[in-house]
Chain A
Amino acid sequence: MSTVRLSNPHAEPVEELDVKKTTCYMCACRCGIRVHLRNGEVRYIDGNPDHPLNQGVICAKGASGIMKQQSPARLTQPLIRRPGTERGAGEFDEISWEEVFALLAERLKKLRETDPKKFALFTGRDQMQALTGMFAKQFGTPNYAAHGGFCSVNMAAGMIYTIGGSFWEFGGPDLERSKLFIMIGTAEDHHSNPMKVALSKFKRNGGRFVSINPVRTGYSAIADEWVPIKPGTDGALLLALCHEIIAKGLYDREFLARYTNAGQLVIQDPDADEFGLFAMDPEGDPVNPDYPHNKYWWDRLTDKLVPTHTPGADPRLRGSYALPDGTPVKPAFQLLLDRLKSYTPEWAEGICGVPADTIRRLAHEMGVTARDQKIHLPISWTDSWGVEHDHVTGNPVSFHAMRGLAAHSNGFHTIRALAILMSLLGTIDRPGGFRHKAPFPRAIPPIAKPPRGPHAVKPNSPLDGMPLGFPADPADLCVDDDGRPVRIDKGFSWEYPLSAHGLMHNVITNAWRGDPYPIDTLLIFMANMAWNSTMNTSEVRQMLNDKGEDGEYRIPFIVVCDAFQSEMTGFADLILPDTTYLERHDVMSILDRPISEFDGPVDSVRIPVVEPKGQCKPFQEVLIELGSRLGLPAFVRPDGTRKFRDYPDFIVNYETEPGSGIGFLAGWRGVDGQKAIRGEPNPKQWEMYAKNNCVFHYVLPASYQYMRNWNKGYMEWAQRVRMRRDADPILIHLYSDVMQRFRLAAQGKRPGRRPPPELRERVEKYFDPLPFYYPPLESQSTDTTRYPLNAVTQRPMAMYHSWDSQNAWLRQIHAHNYLHVNPATARAAGIGDGDWMWAESPWGKVRCMCRYSEAVEAGTVWTWNAIGKASNAWNLGPMANEARKGFLLNHLISEELPMQGSARRMSNSDPVTGQAAWYDVRVRIYRAGDDEPKESWPQFEPMKTLPGVTKTRPGVLKYFVGNWKKRS
């Protein structure tokens, strides 16, 4: 009876629910989830308590997964632009998958037979780069990259080139044991749920949490101290912290001496070809020819030159010395000291706005905590030089940083400065500090190398080299004999030599301009390049539709694989409807960036829990099918017949090389499923994952869990399971001879490749072997009195990029966005709280609404990222808040900057890595006129609803699932 319904807790027969486990993909965090189904429909999604990553918790997005399945924007049919209609006009016809495959196979086959680089494959926030990258390599095109270049490559490269690992998916702060935690420029990040879990435990344990960020939201809200900073100036702050820590003797000398290159001697003869490189001991054992170790120390005990890491020796970190042949040398640490000399707290205060006293105090807090609150774990281990240690030491100061550092054109050096600060404090892969996650640490730089020039691209053959990699030397650049780029995005060229993740943000502009060459087919997977992941959005949208003088489209054929009617689908010639994460098989592969924990490798899978909608097909299956039809070697047998039935079959049976025992998944390998990491294919692998919460967690013995850069046991294990090729130690690069090699090339020293003349100065300047501070490139070329403010975006915790405006629950939390302005700044511009206003950069302007906030640095304005939408995109109604009141900051950001002293335009990116400099843009603000429409600007022609996408949007949604006592 009704009276007792709510009094009766057993009213709902939850035992009738079918609970299936899989992996969330409402964002890239990849939590384990339980999907509760009633009669095949999703009734509820919660966190899987048995999953190591999220331990049962979930986030706002993950819990709204149901509404993704309900989205009115779902694509359901492959679509082709109606012949005779213009691209962008939104006229499409339905076609069958068979037609799609026939059409694509024919077109791509021709390209592969003639010029494979005319096919470009770029992917957004996906998690299957192992497969897409492999497809590109097999196809033979260098024109492949994922979102990393516009995302956080500075963070990856800056740290990997220094400590062999990074934050992000590669490593993180050990908050369980940390005492002091400094978070820099992070709003939400990839490790969303684990970070929150750890942060709250950390705070409850009495840890001290400092946030350095121009804005105080989310995590920063619960910081014990908020240090507001001017965007783009963290380099100055970090260098000053290093300065103070050294000045007060708060560095971990023992750690620096043994585990970094601090004591190794650098050649100081300015005329030598080898100037600034490490002095090499010709008699010494290189150990690893690719990463030779035969360097020198100046032993302070005997006051003599000795081979590095001579047992019983202790290197001098200061001073200048001479080799027996008279060559002047200095320990790397001395060079760092020289560099830091002028970087005083007072100097930094003038740049970053953080008071010098605060900088000193923070330095003291870090140094004293690291020194006086040491952790000693009774874990014995052996270092790479054979010394046995009966305990592991930890200096419990940890850091986490993300795009607040990365997304600036000076980010690489800023991040190097951070990695050096962490190393000075002795906190690398130690308890309470930073810890690696498998398969990291990698060699510095990692072994993978991009193709070394045009010869790597040959018709009908796989690419010679990986499409992406980590150059160690100018010889590794992907340039032709004249030093010109081979890749469409100019990655790995002299313009952005260490662009380890490519430069996706320049692909459309370059292809449109035909610079360095025109392409034929552009395949975009899971990226909204016509909207939020492009800079200069309005113009890029025009480029996508633009025709050349011959009347042909400048980008002849655009294929978009998406699950929803995004802005990007409007610009496609061919649309491939993807499944959602609840509808497909997927792997979080060890070959990509898995979800490893500090204590060992972890990978995971998705297993479909509901049927695909309409004609939706997983992109994974599309790639396997295309690979088979094109006869790409990895997908066919020697006789040309198809090797893999489908994607699940591919995952189980694919090996990197025949018999290598290495595949996409590390768990339950070997014929009987008993092997880990490496082993023969196991036909029951999927079942094993399904039985085990869709996750495989390999826990290393305690003695392999720390000091991994120099941990003999760990290295040998990693080598044995082929997680690493080599087992030699990875010394921290306080001083980067890799950088110096590029600088020497620019200076015309050493034989080998040289940057083209117009880039010499640039390469010489930015390839500094030690971090230095320079204002972001955009500030250097902008009149900062006219554009006095910095404009940045942040991730809202309850939205994933542009994905979630089609989510009925999430969009109630963020229906549109405001520009948040410090009240003092807004008042000075005559703008009231809630007023319509303009924000204008040298490149464009937007009309938006102002929201006062006391939690933003006075010279900064900010908004939530990607809330604003184009009219009718995502099948939202024409008056939807997202389009009428929301706005996209990207209109203010240029994808290119004029190159100083030249008519040329270069990517608006970090000159070292090509990282998109999203957060460099400078703006001015003013009130919108009272006569102006109360609507955001720019507005776009409403998108047409695509065939197969529902035409009727519900006015009311009463989500109630299954036939259990359905309420009205």
Chain B
Amino acid sequence: MNPAFSVILLTTLTGAGQGLFLALFGSELAHALKLSAPMPGHDFYVLGALISLALSGAGLVASFFHLGRPERAWRSAAMWRTSWLSREVIVLPAFMATTALYALSHAMSWPITLATGAIGAALALALFVCTGMIYACLKFLQEWASPLTVINYLVLGCASGLTLASAYAALSAAELMTMMTSLAIALTVLGLATRSASLLRNARLRPRSSLQTAIGVHHPRIAQRSQGLMGGSFNTREFFHHRTLQFLRSVKWTFLLLAFVLPVLLLAAGAMTASPPLLWLAFAVQYVGLLAERWYFFAQANHPQNLYYQTIS
């Protein structure tokens, strides 16, 4: 596929926002369940939720750039029965609204923070599922059609959210920093594992479609001589990245380094030295890494329609 920046931003920004929200709510819940002693003041949650909201809001804004007809975006909630995209379109605003309410209830010290948080967390998780399923449900995009796609959206979103939470906590709730960084490290390592699993899986994929099945001629040697158009079309622009394999490979190693290895090191260093800048750096590096990861996620997906668009003459 040809990665679209709007979608890359949407999924990475809201992912981090969802992760951050889960971190906030998690800490509140842990406190409520007496699993961890300290609980920072309401301000921490208000600002944290607003950051999360800002991230998902930014994602939402980015998503509009993906639409040809943003003014009709309201229509996209219609098909929630069948379309994961429609479901995402419903869940994302719901999550944002809940996040806002969560911030408000903390600000107002209403006693509904836990309940709101629980709903928000459920929506955050649902949103991960929706986003992941948008891709995972396209069965002939074999690189995506796997539970790992959903898992990765979930784990990577949480990892970046927790890295952000670590940095945030280091600034305004030092007592949570260790817990957050430990979790961030754990999730990043887990992310490395699940993402690597999907890379390994994809490396072993054998495309089910071939030129033979595409045109229904079962000769071992088929070559396209003309795709029927010369100046390109939607089908040559949308589904292929037009980069070399080498470029793709370097993006892969870059994101493995930036999204996983460096963040873990920075998180560990930041936690040990209690250095907020290091933790912020960890988040920044990881976010950039995830942009690359997401770019790669799209670029690596080999759409069978490309079999039809290979040669001009």
B231 contacts A881, C-beta separation under 8 Å: yes
Closest to B225 in A: A853
Q: Which of B132-164 contact A (CB under 8 A)?
A: none
Question: Contact check: which of B225, B230, B311 meets A814 at CB < 8 Å?
Answer: B230
Q: Which A residues touch B225, using CB under 8 A?
A: 851, 853, 855
* Given A851-B225, A853-B225, A812 and B313 contact (CB-CB distance below 8 Å): no
* Given A851-B225, A853-B225, A815 and B231 contact (CB-CB distance below 8 Å): yes
B223 contacts A816, C-beta separation under 8 Å: no
Closest to A819 in B: B313
A815 contacts B230, C-beta separation under 8 Å: yes
Q: Which A residues touch B231, using CB under 8 A?
A: 812, 815, 881
Interface residue B269 (Cβ < 8 Å from any Cβ of A): no
- A486-523 CB mask vs B (1 if < 8 Å, else 0) is 00000000000000000000000000000000000000
B223 contacts A812, C-beta separation under 8 Å: no
Q: Which of A817-833 contact B (CB under 8 A)?
A: 817-818, 820
The secondary-structure label for the interface of chain A is loop
Interface size on B, residues (CB 8 A): 8
Smallest distance from the beta carbon of B230 to chain A beta carbons, Å?
A: 4
Q: Which B residues touch A303, using CB under 8 A?
A: none
Interface residue B228 (Cβ < 8 Å from any Cβ of A): yes
Smallest distance from the beta carbon of B222 to chain A beta carbons, Å?
A: 10
Q: Which of A793-848 contact B (CB under 8 A)?
A: 812-818, 820
A760 to B313 alpha-carbon distance, docked (Å): 47
Closest to B223 in A: A854
Interface residue B229 (Cβ < 8 Å from any Cβ of A): yes
A264 to B281 alpha-carbon distance, docked (Å): 103
Closest to B228 in A: A813
A464 to B199 alpha-carbon distance, docked (Å): 86
Smallest distance from the beta carbon of B70 to chain A beta carbons, Å?
A: 15
Smallest distance from the beta carbon of A793 to chain B beta carbons, Å?
A: 14
A813 contacts B223, C-beta separation under 8 Å: no
Closest to A217 in B: B225
Q: Which B residues touch A815, using CB under 8 A?
A: 230-231
Q: Which of B208-229 contact A (CB under 8 A)?
A: 223, 225, 228-229
A813 to B312 alpha-carbon distance, docked (Å): 9
Smallest distance from the beta carbon of B74 to chain A beta carbons, Å?
A: 15
Smallest distance from the beta carbon of B286 to chain A beta carbons, Å?
A: 40
A820 to B313 alpha-carbon distance, docked (Å): 9
A854 to B313 alpha-carbon distance, docked (Å): 14
The secondary-structure label for the interface of chain B is loop
Smallest distance from the beta carbon of B197 to chain A beta carbons, Å?
A: 37
Question: Contact check: which of A816, A854, A855 meets B230 at CB < 8 Å?
Answer: A816
Closest to B221 in A: A854
Q: Which of A542-567 contact B (CB under 8 A)?
A: none
A813 contacts B313, C-beta separation under 8 Å: no
A881 contacts B230, C-beta separation under 8 Å: yes
Closest to A853 in B: B225
- B279-313 CB mask vs A (1 if < 8 Å, else 0) is 00000000000000000000000000000000101
Q: Which B residues touch A851, using CB under 8 A?
A: 225, 311, 313
Q: Which B residues touch A854, using CB under 8 A?
A: 223
A841 to B162 alpha-carbon distance, docked (Å): 70
A471 to B176 alpha-carbon distance, docked (Å): 107
Q: Which of A851-890 contact B (CB under 8 A)?
A: 851-855, 881
Q: Which B residues touch A820, using CB under 8 A?
A: 313
Smallest distance from the beta carbon of A923 to chain B beta carbons, Å?
A: 19
Q: Which B residues touch A881, using CB under 8 A?
A: 230-231
Smallest distance from the beta carbon of A817 to chain B beta carbons, Å?
A: 8
Q: Which A residues touch B230, using CB under 8 A?
A: 812-816, 881
Smallest distance from the beta carbon of B3 to chain A beta carbons, Å?
A: 25
A915 to B198 alpha-carbon distance, docked (Å): 66
Closest to A818 in B: B313
Q: Which A residues touch B311, using CB under 8 A?
A: 851
A851 to B226 alpha-carbon distance, docked (Å): 10
Q: Which A residues touch B228, using CB under 8 A?
A: 813
Between B223, B229, B230, B231, the greatest number of chain A beta carbons within 10 A of the residue's beta carbon is seen for B230
Q: Which B residues touch A816, using CB under 8 A?
A: 230
Smallest distance from the beta carbon of B31 to chain A beta carbons, Å?
A: 52
A851 to B313 alpha-carbon distance, docked (Å): 7
Smallest distance from the beta carbon of A883 to chain B beta carbons, Å?
A: 14
Closest to A864 in B: B313
Smallest distance from the beta carbon of A243 to chain B beta carbons, Å?
A: 36
Closest to A849 in B: B313
Closest to B230 in A: A815
Q: Which B residues touch A812, using CB under 8 A?
A: 229-231
A331 to B289 alpha-carbon distance, docked (Å): 91
Q: Which A residues touch B223, using CB under 8 A?
A: 852, 854
A818 to B312 alpha-carbon distance, docked (Å): 9
A813 to B230 alpha-carbon distance, docked (Å): 6
A818 to B225 alpha-carbon distance, docked (Å): 11
Smallest distance from the beta carbon of A958 to chain B beta carbons, Å?
A: 15
A818 to B311 alpha-carbon distance, docked (Å): 12
Q: Which A residues touch B229, using CB under 8 A?
A: 812-813
A476 to B306 alpha-carbon distance, docked (Å): 64
A816 to B226 alpha-carbon distance, docked (Å): 12
Closest to B311 in A: A851
Between B225, B228, B229, the greatest number of chain A beta carbons within 10 A of the residue's beta carbon is seen for B225
Q: Which B residues touch A817, using CB under 8 A?
A: 313
Smallest distance from the beta carbon of A811 to chain B beta carbons, Å?
A: 8
A813 to B311 alpha-carbon distance, docked (Å): 13
A572 to B180 alpha-carbon distance, docked (Å): 81
Closest to A863 in B: B313
Closest to B233 in A: A812
A813 to B229 alpha-carbon distance, docked (Å): 5
A556 to B313 alpha-carbon distance, docked (Å): 42
Smallest distance from the beta carbon of B76 to chain A beta carbons, Å?
A: 16
A815 to B227 alpha-carbon distance, docked (Å): 13
Smallest distance from the beta carbon of B309 to chain A beta carbons, Å?
A: 14
Q: Which B residues touch A852, using CB under 8 A?
A: 223
Smallest distance from the beta carbon of A60 to chain B beta carbons, Å?
A: 11
Between B223, B225, B231, B313, the greatest number of chain A beta carbons within 10 A of the residue's beta carbon is seen for B313
Smallest distance from the beta carbon of A716 to chain B beta carbons, Å?
A: 53
A817 to B229 alpha-carbon distance, docked (Å): 12
- A592-615 CB mask vs B (1 if < 8 Å, else 0) is 000000000000000000000000
A820 to B223 alpha-carbon distance, docked (Å): 14
A855 to B226 alpha-carbon distance, docked (Å): 13
- A513-537 CB mask vs B (1 if < 8 Å, else 0) is 0000000000000000000000000
A814 to B227 alpha-carbon distance, docked (Å): 11
A812 to B223 alpha-carbon distance, docked (Å): 21
A818 to B226 alpha-carbon distance, docked (Å): 11
A817 to B312 alpha-carbon distance, docked (Å): 9
Q: Which B residues touch A853, using CB under 8 A?
A: 225
Q: Which B residues touch A855, using CB under 8 A?
A: 225
A726 to B72 alpha-carbon distance, docked (Å): 78
Smallest distance from the beta carbon of B219 to chain A beta carbons, Å?
A: 11
A733 to B225 alpha-carbon distance, docked (Å): 44
Q: Which B residues touch A814, using CB under 8 A?
A: 230
Q: Which B residues touch A818, using CB under 8 A?
A: 313
Q: Which of B175-229 contact A (CB under 8 A)?
A: 223, 225, 228-229
A855 to B229 alpha-carbon distance, docked (Å): 20
Smallest distance from the beta carbon of B22 to chain A beta carbons, Å?
A: 40
A813 to B231 alpha-carbon distance, docked (Å): 8
Q: List 12 A-B contacts (CB under 8 A).
A: A812-B229, A812-B230, A812-B231, A813-B230, A815-B230, A817-B313, A820-B313, A851-B311, A851-B313, A852-B223, A855-B225, A881-B231
Interface residues of A (CB under 8 A from B): 812-818, 820, 851-855, 881
> What 8 A-B pairs have minimum CB-CB distances, sorted nearest first?
A815-B230, A851-B313, A818-B313, A815-B231, A812-B229, A812-B231, A853-B225, A812-B230
Query: Given A818-B313, A853-B225, 14 other A-B contacts at CB below 8 A?
Result: A812-B229, A812-B230, A813-B229, A814-B230, A815-B230, A815-B231, A817-B313, A820-B313, A851-B225, A851-B311, A852-B223, A854-B223, A855-B225, A881-B231
Interface residues of B (CB under 8 A from A): 223, 225, 228-231, 311, 313
